[in-house]
Amino acid sequence: MSSRPETEGLRRRLGLFHLVLYGLGVTIGAGIYVLIGLTAAEAGLYAPVSFAVAAGVVLFTGLTYAELSTRFPVSAGEAIFVEKGLRRPQLALLVGLLVAASGIVSSATIAIGAASYLFHLIPIEPNILTAGLIIFLGLIAAWGILESVTIAAFLTVAEIFGLLLVITFALEADPMLIERAGELVPPFETSAWSGILSGALLAFFAFIGFEDLANVAEEAKQPKRTMPRAILLTLGLSSLLYLVVVSVVVLSVPMEALTSSASPLLLVFETASPTTLLSFNLIAGLATINGILIQMIMSSRVLYGLSKNHHLPTTLGKVSPITGTPIIATVVVVAIVLVLALALPVGQLAEWTSRFALLVFALVNAALIGLKRQKTPLNSEGFVVPLWIPVIGFLTCAILLIFSLATLI
């Protein structure tokens, strides 16, 4: 009899390819498919600059995550980073719960949107469709990390294909778009840059997700080598895609129509054939479904990691000997997502996701600053950034967070 003990750790099954697809899958998705119009409402034609500013803010934090994932390649990464760097266990628990909560709320919000879209293809009562979708994706998340990430990888490829389809169709419809690229350069005027910064907060939401890679580090092969590469490749590829997509959309779609649309990318296909339009609709649906799956995987790993580090009940840290996944933590996540999606108004909570992320990012950068000031050595050779990287990461996140909170006053 050779069954695995129920408390055995997670299995390292993810290589660089799967990690990058996981990172792209949780980063690219509902954000870019719906945020362009909202960003353009703030920044106008300069929306691509807003995305560039957001990418710049995220880059420094991404480099911080790259080093910390080398130092501590475990689940519930942010909580461990903060606990080790700031030496505040209570603060570490708060960070972990914030990360898990943001993933759970995002899953519930996306599930409602996905069900609303799928209702046009599957005419089932919306609440039943929402519940069925969440349970189905929860079963996939519990199936096994390699299996669930492989499915997410296929959905990620579909997401990326959809964005490439937007670029290709827009350029074929109007080859002059490339020559008009100069129109995207903003003037040095306060009004223009105020709108760009407001748009950057919205654009920032589209980049949230790369940090979820830290929460599957315990299931990564050779994490000290693959995790930094996966994080940086995820940020680089998603940033490039975003900038090109946003540029062709704002140049090819009338601004009035763009800023008032809940499905801005569909406007690019107004002259497309019914088959092309249907294909893109399906791809957009897959993008939202993928976000639910990956966010549930991430949230369950955070609860698992907090349990293993004695911040939450040990039950949440139990791993199934059959699937090699944290079954109880996954069930808890799916149950909470169901409650939020079916019973609570999650819209306003979802608006705070980017603010929670900025707060977590600021604390993670502060943690690396603390570790470097402690002169804590790496356990072995790994990825290292200079001190000024987390300093700038902390300042940029803090400034954007303060700017976003000021808009509420």
Q: Is residue 232 part of a domain?
A: yes
Summarised one tens digit per residue, pLDDT across range 165-183 is: 899 988 988 888 888 888 8
Task: Judge contact between 29 and 209, C-beta under 8 A.
Answer: yes
State residue 128's pLDDT score. Answer: 85
Domain annotation covers residue 5: no
8 is a domain residue: no
DSSP structure class, residue 184: G
Q: Answer whether residue 155 is part of any domain.
A: yes
Q: What is the pLDDT of residue 369?
A: 94
Using DSSP, state whether 69 is helix, strand or coil.
helix
H or E stretch including 394? helix 388-406
Determine, yes or no, domain membership for 350: yes
The answer to whether position 10 is within a domain reads no
Q: Which of 351, 364, 402 is nearest to 58 (CA)?
A: 364
Confidence at residue 121, expressed as pLDDT on a 0 to 100 scale: 66
Residue keyed to tokens 């929860």: 138
pTM above 0.75, yes or no: yes
The residue assigned the tokens 């080790």 is 84
HSE, CB side, 13 Å, CA atoms: give it for residue 149.
24
- Burial code (b: 16+ CB inside 10 Å, e: under 16) for 352-373 equals ebbbbbbbbbbbbbbbbbbbbe
- Number of domains within the chain: 1
- 103 is in which domain, residue-wise? 16-406
Residue 7 counted as domain residue = no
Predicted pLDDT at 149: 64
pLDDT in the model for residue 113: 66
Please check whether residue 11 lies inside any domain of the structure: no
Question: Low-confidence residues of the chain, pLDDT below 50?
Answer: 1-7, 346-347
3-state secondary structure of 110: helix
What is the reported pLDDT for 6?
A: 42
- The region that residue 321 occupies, defined by phi over 0 for left and psi between -120 and 50 for alpha, beta otherwise, is alpha
CATH number at 362 reads 1.20.1740.10
